A and B are shown apart, each in its own frame.
Chain A
Amino acid sequence: DGGITQSPKYLFRKEGQNVTLSCEQNLNHDAMYWYRQDPGQGLRLIYYSQIVNDFQKGDIAEGYSVSREKKESFPLTVTSAQKNPTAFYLCASSPGVAGVPSYNEQFFGPGTRLTVL
């Protein structure tokens, strides 16, 4: 089945640790996104990538890093510089190609719940 997978489902981090959240898609989508969800605040954009080997900061990029070495993968690293990382993290992808009927639609993965111990 085509879709987006995120792993792990639950992740625990100790103070001072870096952790990496995985996001993989087999939809052949060009664009990929990372969002953070906190209670009462909706989703906020962390980073996004429109093509391989290129990515841009979103609204809350501080304390996070990403890479886009392959079209299907867009891992997010939560560094120790992120002071309040406890949240639900959602990865999404989009065709990114005008003319495709769903090109302006984003498809979401199931999410990763990160908790700081």
Chain B
Amino acid sequence: AQTVTQSQPEMSVQEAETVTLSCTYDTSESDYYLFWYKQPPSRQMILVIRQEAYKQQNATENRFSVNFQKAAKSFSLKISDSQLGDAAMYFCAYRSAQGNQGGKLIFGQGTELSVKP
């Protein structure tokens, strides 16, 4: 079974600085998808960024980028120029590419990010 681990329960960053959130996963599959979701105080889950395992190039979305290390099974999220609105719980998630897995997501425990003005 696949597992996702976020070893940093809490992180803090100064406004305008850069922060990196860590995520490791365990799988025997070669084809899968990885996601970072943001959950602000409203508790609405928002997709931040996604990475296809077959792509070597790291995904980027504006100030958000990932460092995907497939061999190491590592998927970290870098937030540049942090803003107060980035304060939230961040979840790393894994999705198998196998059709018989139903597209379900496996989540890590989450990292609470606070942004200091």
Contacts and interface: CB of A to CB of B under 8 A. Distances in A.
Contact of B50 (A44, A92, A104): A104
The dominant DSSP class at the A interface is strand
A53 interface: no
Interface stretch (A14-22, A60-68, A71-79, A105-113): A105-113
A56 interface: yes
Contact of A42 (B33, B43, B97, B110): B110
Interface stretch (B11-19, B80-88, B100-108): B100-108
A94 B95 CA distance: 12
Contact of B103 (A40, A106, A108, A110): A106
Which of B35, B44, B47, B104 is packed against the most chain A CB atoms within 10 Å? B104
Q: How large is the interface on A (under 10, 10 to 19, 20 to 34, 35 or more residues)?
A: 20 to 34
A104 B109 contact: no
A58 interface: yes
A90 B9 contact: no
Given A40-B109, A41-B109, A42-B109, A104 B43 contact: no
23 contacts: A31-B103, A33-B103, A33-B105, A35-B105, A40-B109, A41-B109, A42-B4, A42-B91, A42-B108, A42-B110, A43-B91, A44-B107, A45-B104, A48-B102, A88-B43, A90-B45, A104-B33, A104-B97, A105-B35, A106-B103, A108-B46, A110-B43, A110-B44
